[in-house]
Amino acid sequence: MHFLYLFSRQAYGHSLAREALDMALATAAFDQKVSIVFLEDAIYQLLNATDAQSVEAKPHTGVINALPLYDIENIYYLDDDRQHRAISESSLLTHATAITRPALQQLIAAADRVQSF
């Protein structure tokens, strides 16, 4: 079964982002295929630790960097969102891959379960 998690909010000011990451890790622990897409303001969760400090936010980069260790290797962000927020690709974690809106629609269509946070 393929689970797709769509993150669309910044990680700061609430616990939802951390809880969603924990849910993705738990899903992967049961040998399910997991993909994560960081949309809209959630892209800030992918900032390198030094860049995250520049926006005065505690980064979740430690957990996000550990995702491939739990067989969560499909980590994406919408490139339109990155460009709209004037974030350089070099400021983002290297294991996250840019995708287009049509590619996102294909991911959604191919997933068995879609969760949005």
pTM of the model: 0.86
Mean pLDDT of all residues in the chain? 87
Question: Contact at 8 Å (CB) between 92 and 75?
Answer: no
Q: What DSSP state is assigned to residue 92?
A: B
Determine the pLDDT at residue 106. Answer: 97
2-116 adopts what CATH topology?
A: Hypothetical Protein Ychn; Chain: A, (3.40.1260)
What residue segments make up the domains of the chain, in order of their start? 2-116
The pLDDT of residue 49 is 61
Question: Model confidence at 50, in pLDDT bands (50, 70, 90)?
Answer: low
What span, in angstroms and rounded, lies between the C-alpha atoms of 105 and 117? 17
